[in-house]
């Protein structure tokens, strides 16, 4: 007990919500209860296991239908997807890209792959994503548009793009961010790695900017083992992304001719087979995850010093990872609570270390990050597997 903070009550509440016969409850496990075995076996039997085949085409079709995006391109992972999107957006060496400090390191790494510089911006508690109002005030101070290019007056470098993320599946407030990106001539790319099945004002995430990315890592709401995708409603963006992801090889029945420096980023057919079986179950997965989120919300409503993060009123979240948010005055209890829950066989995790604190990014430009720093101290992710 510490100033009304009762760790034992929190652990007991977790145990009650997650009651099952397991000795250890992981943070997020995949669920294989559909056609996974059948589709993967068909790949093995046919020999079509590599970067072309019917399941790649089927997965891209399913993704387009589910999200409402005009085009979907399956690739090897979400980081590769973001790398390609940034390049298509014109990000090059010496440019700056605005990304939240509260994100997984892959977002910053993809910027670095382009030779560009991550420029870290703050988040808001309402969405856990980029704070539009604070960013507006910040850009008003440090940025100006010259000849159609946004310039950082402090560094003299172009700011080419804004990459909001939908943190833990919760949609960022995209309407004001879209307005900001237009006013400052920034390409808008959604990092929707965690938000398949989430909606912003009735529109599926990933449909607002120039392009968006998804991740199908083993801990995501659906998985292809490893894997990701690019979503876009612009045909030219899709055509160029597909070309870059396939070594920029020009189509020919036998000739090998390539016209750009490009990448081997296409998703193998055997991974796509797994994804096809998974996406068939996605509506059920979302229903179960939202039901689990509601159980957490109800169970923790009576526990002092903490709350379960809930979707904004304009959003419908997939609740990829549930968030236990500590009151600021109890942040000194975070690590002990993490230790205690994991020792009890319940895997919990803190938020990512903020990007500007990592050694390779400490010299990058950033705005005041007081809210992201508060959220970093307060966030604990809770087990969120669909079968819980």
What does the radius of gyration of the chain's CA atoms come to, in whole angstroms?
A: 21
Let me know: does 219 contact 28? Beta carbons within 8 Å: yes
Q: What is the pTM of this model?
A: 0.96
Rounded Cα distance between 378 and 314, Å, is: 24
pLDDT of 1: 42
Model confidence pLDDT, tens digit, residues 39-62: 999 999 999 898 778 999 999 999
Distances in Å between the Cα of 106 and the Cα atoms of 71, 78, 283 are 23, 8, 27
CATH topology of domain 7-30+282-356+364-382: 3.90.1150
Tell me which of 4-18, 170-184, 368-382 is least confident: 4-18
**Where does the pLDDT of residue 352 fall: very low under 50, low under 70, confident under 90, or very high at 90 and above?**
very high
Lowest-confidence pick of 22-26, 186-190, 266-270, 291-295:
22-26
**In sequence order, which residues have a C-beta less than 8 Å from that of residue 371 and are 6 or more positions away?**
122, 123, 124, 125, 131, 134
pLDDT of residue 3: 61
Contacts of residue 210, defined as CB under 8 A and 6 or more positions apart, other chains included, come to 85, 88, 89, 187, 188, 189, 232, 234, 237
If you ran DSSP here, which 8-state letter would residue 354 be given?
A: P
Question: Is residue 113 scored above 90 in pLDDT?
Answer: yes
- Rounded Cα gap, residues 166 and 102, in angstroms: 11
Q: What is the share, in percent, of the chain residues with pLDDT greater than 70?
A: 98
% helix / strand / coil in the chain, to the nearest 5? 40, 20, 40
Sign of the CA dihedral with 169 first, then 171, 172, and 174 last:
positive
Which two structure tokens, joined as six digits, stand for 375? 């959220």
Cα separation, 386 vs 388, whole angstroms: 6
> Is 7-30+282-356+364-382's fold the same as 36-280's?
no
Are the beta carbons of 60 and 72 closer than 8 angstroms?
Answer: yes
Say if CB 284 and CB 33 are below 8 A apart.
no
Average pLDDT over residues 126-130: 98
pLDDT at 199 over 90: yes
What confidence tens digit (pLDDT) does each residue in 60-91 have? Answer: 999 999 999 999 999 999 999 999 999 999 99
Dihedral pair phi/psi, residue 339, rounded to 5°: -60, -45
Residues 191-219 have a mean pLDDT of: 97
Beta carbons within 8 Å of 257's beta carbon, 6+ residues apart: 249, 250
Are 5 and 340 a contacting pair, CB within 8 Å? Answer: no
Overall average pLDDT of the 283-310 stretch:
97
Give domain limits for the chain. 7-30+282-356+364-382, 36-280
1-10, 254-263, 315-324, 372-381: the lowest-pLDDT one = 1-10
- Class of 36-280 per CATH? alpha beta
Residue range 97-109: mean pLDDT, rounded: 98
pLDDT score, position 23: 85
Q: How confident is the model at residue 242 (pLDDT cuts 50, 70, 90)?
A: very high
Nearest CA among 224, 227, 216, 221 for reference residue 286: 221
């Amino acid at each position: 007990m510490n100033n009304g903070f009762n760790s034992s009550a929190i652990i007991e509440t977790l145990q009650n919500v997650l009651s099952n016969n397991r000795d250890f409850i992981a943070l997020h496990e995949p669920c294989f209860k559909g056609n996974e075995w059948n589709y993967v076996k068909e790949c093995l039997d046919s020999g079509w296991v590599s970067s072309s085949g019917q399941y790649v085409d089927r997965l891209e079709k399913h993704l387009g239908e589910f999200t409402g995006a005009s085009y979907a391109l399956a690739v090897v992972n979400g980081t590769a997807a973001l790398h390609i999107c940034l390049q298509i957006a014109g990000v090059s060496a010496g440019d700056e890209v605005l990304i939240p400090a509260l994100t997984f390191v892959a977002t910053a790494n993809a910027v670095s792959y382009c030779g560009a510089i991550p420029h870290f911006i703050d988040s808001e508690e309402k969405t856990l994503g980029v704070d539009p109002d604070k960013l507006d005030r910040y850009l008003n101070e440090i940025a100006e548009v010259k000849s159609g290019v946004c310039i950082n007056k402090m560094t003299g470098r172009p700011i080419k793009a804004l990459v909001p993320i939908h943190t833990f599946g919760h949609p960022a407030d995209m309407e004001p961010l879209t307005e900001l990106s237009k006013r400052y001539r920034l390409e808008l790319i959604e990092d929707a790695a965690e938000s398949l099945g989430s909606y912003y004002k009735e529109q599926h995430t990933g449909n607002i900017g120039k392009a968006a990315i998804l991740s199908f890592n083993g801990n995501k709401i659906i998985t292809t083992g490893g894997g990701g995708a690019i979503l876009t409603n612009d045909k030219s963006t899709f055509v160029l992304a597909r070309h870059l992801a396939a070594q920029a090889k020009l189509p020919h029945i036998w000739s090998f001719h390539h016209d750009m420096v490009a990448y081997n980023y296409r998703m193998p057919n055997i991974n796509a087979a797994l994804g096809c079986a998974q996406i068939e179950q996605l509506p059920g997965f979302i229903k179960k995850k939202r039901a689990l989120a509601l159980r957490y919300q109800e169970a923790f409503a009576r526990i002092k010093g903490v709350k379960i993060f809930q979707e904004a009123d304009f959003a419908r979240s997939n609740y990829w990872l549930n968030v236990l948010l500590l009151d600021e005055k109890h942040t000194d209890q975070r690590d002990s609570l993490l230790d205690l829950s994991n020792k009890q066989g319940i895997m919990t995790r803190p938020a990512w270390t903020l990007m500007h604190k990592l050694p390779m990014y400490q010299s990058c430009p950033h705005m005041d990050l007081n809210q992201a720093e508060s959220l970093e101290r307060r966030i604990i992710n809770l087990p969120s597997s669909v079968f819980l």
